[in-house]
Amino acid sequence: MWATLSSETKGRDTYEEPDPLRTAFQLDRDRLLHSVGFRKLKHKTHLALGRGHRRTRATHALEVAQIARTLARGLRLNEDLVEAIALGHDVGNTAFGQAGEIALSTFIESGFRHEEHSLRVVEFLENHGAGLNLTWEVRDGIVHHRPDGPLPATLEGCAVRLADDIATATRDLADAVASGTLRPSDLPREAVAVLGETPEQQLATVVTDVVASTADHPELALSPAVEEALAALVDAVRTCLAASTEVQHEANRAIHCLTSLGLYFEQHADRLPPTADDTTQRVVDLVAGLTDRDAVREFERLFLPTS
């Protein structure tokens, strides 16, 4: 009903002849799926719950895409546009989850925001500086997917934004319980009574509620009861993560690793890729592009003595 039609896209920065088999949004989805930035997400942490308990950004991106497509199908939105935005929304994320964003904020006065860097990745850093030449709608959805920023221009972008929140809340909760960081008894009982006992029940409740609450309105929304319950679960997870010594120690180690790498390359700019950008931007581009493994290996190479 309110779907964004690929035939009405605002287009790409550089004109391309239409693909004979795929719509513009299908083409964007495929470009993102095969991009270097997306492949790196397999080795970047989304959530670290101490040693041995991690979820990767690739897993998170696929979970967001699945939830967003379910919302899109229930609301008759453009599933291809939703999937493209979901696959690309985190390609600018750093290694080590939230800790990486904290580390790189050391080098940017306004702070490092991964959604802005995701846009930079798809517009400038992919294809050796040529970018992916994505449609305007996909880029808008990527840069506006965070809940503390402006709304996306399309309902498909709003669906990904909401799916990102839902995936983070339900899967972070499941991981926290599975790792022993959070006990089921620590969860607010009122929220559990509304959403369900298991992560599967909670996810189904929230997604069904979005479709039911939005069906007759051109704006994605949750019912007040479900929105309040979901917020309570998110607060419970955040509280337990903040109180976990193991989680905080792991985050501090990650911040130290990436900050040290950034400072090193800031002082050795001749070792940065030669681009037209200033030194700080080149440092951020390099460090943000490292996977967890790359960052640890580089740290060992630069700062640890050989045996």
The percent helix, strand, coil of the chain (3-state, each to 5) is 65, 0, 35
pLDDT at residue 234, as a whole number: 87
State the CB neighbour count (10 A cutoff) for residue 99.
24
Q: Averaged over 106-119, what is the pLDDT?
A: 96
Q: Torsion-angle region of residue 52: left (phi > 0), alpha (psi -120 to 50) or beta?
A: left
- 206-242 per-position pLDDT tens digit: 999 999 999 777 889 999 999 999 999 888 888 888 8
Give domain limits for the chain: 23-182+247-303
Q: What is the pLDDT of residue 50?
A: 62
Confidence of residue 73 (pLDDT cuts 50, 70, 90): very high
C-alpha 96/C-alpha 171 separation (Å) is: 17
Can you give the pLDDT at residue 244? 86
Q: Which of 148, 67, 81, 83 shows the shortest CA–CA distance to 114? A: 148
Compute how many other C-beta atoms are within 10 angstroms of the C-beta atom of residue 26: 17
Compute the distance between CA of residue 284 and CA of residue 240 in angstroms, rounded to an integer: 30
DSSP state of 13: S
> Residue 55's closest CA among 154, 199, 270, 202?
199
Cβ(290)–Cβ(57) under 8 Å? no
CATH of domain 23-182+247-303: 1.10.3210.10
- Tens-place pLDDT, residues 146-178: 988 899 999 999 999 999 999 988 888 888 888
Q: What is the mean pLDDT of the chain?
A: 93
Which letter, b or e, does each residue of 153-170 get, where b requires 16 or more Cβ atoms within 10 Å of its Cβ? ebbbbbbbbbbbbbbbbb
Percentage of residues in the chain with pLDDT exceeding 90?
Answer: 77
pLDDT confidence bin for 271, thresholds 50/70/90:
very high
Question: Is residue 180 over pLDDT 80?
Answer: yes
